[in-house]
A = this chain, B = another copy of it.
Amino acid sequence: MAGCGRCLIGLNGSAIVRQGAGVPLLIRLIDYTATEFRERELVNVSECQPYLQAPGNTWIHVQGHAEVAILRQLRELFNLHPLAMEDVLNTGQRPKVESYDEQLFVILSLAVINDSTIKTRQISLFLGEHYIVSFCNGYSDPFEPVRKRLRKNGKRFQSRSIDYLFYILIDLVVDEGFPVLERFGEQLEDLEMELLRCPTQDTLAWIHQIKRELLLLRRIFWPQREVIHGLLREDYNLIAEGTKIYLRDCYDHSTQIMELLETYREMSSSMLDVYLSSVSHHTNEIMRILTIIATIFIPLTFIAGVYGMNFGNDSNSPWAMPELHWYYGYPLIWLVMIAVAVLLLIFFKHRGWF
Binding site for B on A (CB under 8 A): 2-3, 5-6, 8-9, 11-12, 81, 83, 93-94, 96, 98, 100, 145, 149, 153, 156, 171, 175, 178, 181-182, 185, 196, 198, 201, 204-205, 208, 211-212, 215-216, 219, 245-246, 248-249, 252-253, 255-256, 259-260, 263, 266-267, 270, 272-291, 293-295, 297-302, 304-315, 317, 319-321, 324-331, 333, 351-353
Contacts and interface: CB of A to CB of B under 8 A. Distances in A.
A329 B333 contact: no
Contacts of A255: 94
Nearest to A218: B263
A277 B275 contact: yes
Given A6-B175, A277-B279, A246 B83 contact: yes
A288 B288 contact: no
B295 A252 contact: no
Q: Which one of A181, A275, A304 has the greatest number of beta carbons of chain B within 10 Å?
A: A304
Nearest to A195: B208
B304 A308 contact: yes
B270 A211 contact: yes
A275 B149 CA distance: 51
6 closest A-B pairs by CB: A304-B305, A307-B309, A308-B308, A290-B291, A2-B182, A311-B330
A125 to B, nearest CB: 16
Contact of A5 (B178, B290, B312, B325): B178
Nearest to A260: B2
Nearest to A282: B284
Given A5-B253, A287-B287, 12 more contacts: A2-B182, A6-B253, A8-B249, A208-B274, A290-B290, A297-B298, A298-B301, A307-B309, A309-B330, A311-B329, A312-B330, A317-B328
Nearest to A185: B2
A313 to B, nearest CB: 7
A5 B276 contact: no
A263 B265 CA distance: 14
Contacts of A280: 276, 279-280, 283
Nearest to A180: B2
A280 to B, nearest CB: 6
A272 B273 contact: yes
A320 B330 contact: yes
Contacts of A266: 215
